[in-house]
Amino acid sequence: MTLVPTLTELELDAMTELVNLGVSNAATSLSELVREEVILSVPKANVVTREQAIANLREHGAKRLVAIHQDFDGDIRGRALLIFPEARSMELIRALVGAELSPDDIIELEQEALAETGNILLNGCLSTIANSLERNLKISLPEVIHGEGTDFFYPNSDAHETVLFIYINFTVKQRDIQGFLAMILDLPSLVMLQKLLDAYIERSTGESRASDHAG
């Protein structure tokens, strides 16, 4: 089993808080789009292996999934994914484009609506993270893929890559839509992320956390 470097409790707290900020900002934009309130749960973040990430998705009972992903590059590089159970993705699209559309129209708009939603949420998160960590990230265009956990987390398998897995629940127009956010990071990126989070914590609180890294 691959040894996953972990983040300290406060680093994970900081990361969760950044994702929370990003998603909340994105929810504001999303709610303007659907003209309804978008209700968010508190995100839960954890650093896991690819295997655990796949198992996490299974645990939540979703088999067929749809993922929107965007790659980012800079001091930290990796892939951010927004994942929904496929069955709920149609609900999301209906919320976005309106229920009055014919099934054919919805199918035609599906890719576009998913890409747009993913773009709002993922860009919201990534740009909040980049700005807070005072780094610039180049973010690719969104791509939509349908499949299972293994399809998302084993693109070109590198055993040393870790997944920052974030579980979040959001409700749009009374439709309960669970979503998962994940960031696949290679080992050097996770180490860099940890450094940047420490610097961010220091800036935010005025306290140095360097001593937390014993061992």
Partner 1 sequence: MAYTILIVDDSKLARMSVAKVLGTLHPDWKRVEAANAAEALSQTRELSPEVVLVDFNMPGKDGVTLAAELRALDPRISVAVISANRQTEVIKRAEAAGATFLPKPVTASALADFLASIPGQRTADSR
Residues that bind partner 1 (CB under 8 A): 9-10, 13-14, 16-17, 20-22, 24-25, 27-28, 31, 37-38, 40-42, 201, 204-207
Crossing angle for the helix pair 9-34 and 103-132, nearest 10 degrees?
140
Between strands 137-139 and 44-49, the pairing is: unpaired
**Closest distance between partner 1 and the C-beta of residue 41, in Å?**
8
**Closest distance between partner 1 and the C-beta of residue 134, in Å?**
13
Q: Provide the phi-psi class of 197: left if phi over 0, else alpha when psi is between -120 and 50, else beta.
A: alpha
- Retrieve residue 212's tokens: 């937390």
The one-letter amino acid at 124:
G
- Retrieve residue 48's tokens: 């896991």
- Separation CA 95–CA 73 (nearest Å): 32
Burial class (CB in 10 A: 0-12, 13-18, 19+), 45: buried
**Closest distance between partner 1 and the C-beta of residue 140, in Å?**
24
**Which is nearer to partner 1, 22 or 78 (by Cβ)?**
22
**Closest distance between partner 1 and the C-beta of residue 107, in Å?**
30
**Which is nearer to partner 1, 111 or 171 (by Cβ)?**
171
**Which is nearer to partner 1, 31 or 178 (by Cβ)?**
31
**Closest distance between partner 1 and the C-beta of residue 182, in Å?**
20
**Which is nearer to partner 1, 136 or 205 (by Cβ)?**
205
Closest CA to 111 of 137, 145, 85: 145
Alpha helices in the chain (DSSP H): 9-34, 50-59, 86-97, 103-132, 149-153, 187-205
Q: Three-class SS of residue 77?
A: coil
Residue 7 has a CB neighbour count (10 Å cut-off) of 20
**Closest distance between partner 1 and the C-beta of residue 163, in Å?**
22
**Which is nearer to partner 1, 22 or 149 (by Cβ)?**
22
**Which is nearer to partner 1, 81 or 172 (by Cβ)?**
172
